Amino acid sequence: MSNFSSIGVSVYEITHDYRVTCPFPVRRGSRVHTEHMKDAGDPAEPPGPLPPAMAVALAAFERYLRSERSLSPHTVRAYGGDIRSLLEHASRQGVEAPEGLGVTELRSWLGIQHESGAARATLARRGAAARTFTAFAHRRGWLAADPGPQLGTLKTRRALPHVLRRDDMTDVLAVLDKAGRQAELPDHPAGSPGDAAAQRMEAAVALRDAAVLELLYATGIRVSELCGLEAGHLDHGRRTVRVRGKGDKERMVPVGVPALRAVVRWLDAGRPALVTAASGPALFLGVRGGRLDPRTARRIVHERLREAGATRDAGPHGIRHTAATHLLEGGADLRSVQEILGHSSPATTQIYTHVSIERLKSSYRQAHPRA
């Protein structure tokens, strides 16, 4: 375990065999000045202004992430917050410009956060953000040498994703399909105009939610990709959907017949009840007519799974895990699943083979008398 003491000797473990030293004293109980440290115990102090050269470098880095790397707004915010924290720390050590940033500042910054209780995954992300920034600064000519590789890489323990069983998904989608069919209202509902409007809204939401769950499970797409879809991205004849994924990379993903049927029902009978002048071409809409946002989509998945009596809770990413696992269990090859999911490396997809093996072993232990 690392031990930060008041005399300035400390150890921060980056990997199992790579240790670095924090060169300045850190008092126990003192508040750590970092931004976006929700998992680090005490709240961070308000960020101070960066030196002008540091502020310019941070702005240029964020533009690079958005424009050249085409990273998601969430990733840009996370990396930007990490690098702001790093630059604030460096400026407190007397570094006024990115040219003065070295491995000492990088290690001491990570060391303070480690001592403050940041999770391993958080430290791994912040180390990755620091290496990305120093590589960017080196290419820009701000750094004569890139100190980032000297940080090493923190090894995180990757947990196997939770997936729903086939019968769970079958039951959930059957409940949603029934609810969607029952939600199709006659042209002139009974009751007052207010009641009729409420019924139309409820029916539209039911049709939308059924289409969302069906499409997520049929395609395994990310929630951000789902919310970015437009009606024209669906090819009804070929039964495919055009998805824009990470790095603005497009891919064509097959869509099953039940999912296509649910989306068509939403387009024909549900979307017109929610559409407004601000809806644009968005495929899925919120109740106010705007494009469905990822937070609402996550809530939809959690609520609908719970209402359908699923044995395990899952969000959109859990449905993505489930779709990938069921594809592999059904005989799909790893390369095909990689292309469907939009993974840049097959190593990312291989985790689903471990999930399938673990499920197979669990079934074996339960069923075989001498397991």
Q: How is residue 62 written in tokens?
A: 């964020």
Based on the residue annotation, tell me whether 343 is a catalytic residue of this protein: yes
Q: Catalytic one among 155, 251, 317, 359?
A: 317
Between CA 121 and CA 145 the distance in angstroms is 27
Based on the residue annotation, tell me whether 352 is a catalytic residue of this protein: yes
Q: Catalytic one among 66, 246, 261, 302?
A: 246
Q: Which helix (H) or strand (E) holds 363?
A: helix 351-367
Based on the residue annotation, tell me whether 246 is a catalytic residue of this protein: yes
Q: Catalytic one among 222, 233, 265, 271?
A: 222
DSSP string of 74-120? HHHHHHHHHHHHHHHHHHHTT--SGGG--HHHHHHHHHHHHHTT--H
Based on the residue annotation, tell me whether 18 is a catalytic residue of this protein: no
Buried b (16+ CB within 10 A) or exposed e, 298-307: eebbbebbee
List, in order, residues 6 or more apart from 170 with CB less than 8 Å away.
Answer: none
List, in order, residues 6 or more apart from 98 with CB less than 8 Å away.
Answer: 53, 54, 57, 87, 137, 142, 143
Task: Give the phi and the psi of residue 24 in degrees, each rounded to 5.
Answer: -140, 160
Between CA 319 and CA 304 the distance in angstroms is 12
Q: Which helix (H) or strand (E) holds 305?
A: helix 294-307
Cα–Cα distances in Å, from 246 out to 13, 118, 130, 294, 344?
Answer: 31, 27, 20, 15, 9
Catalytic residue annotation: 222, 246, 317, 320, 343, 352
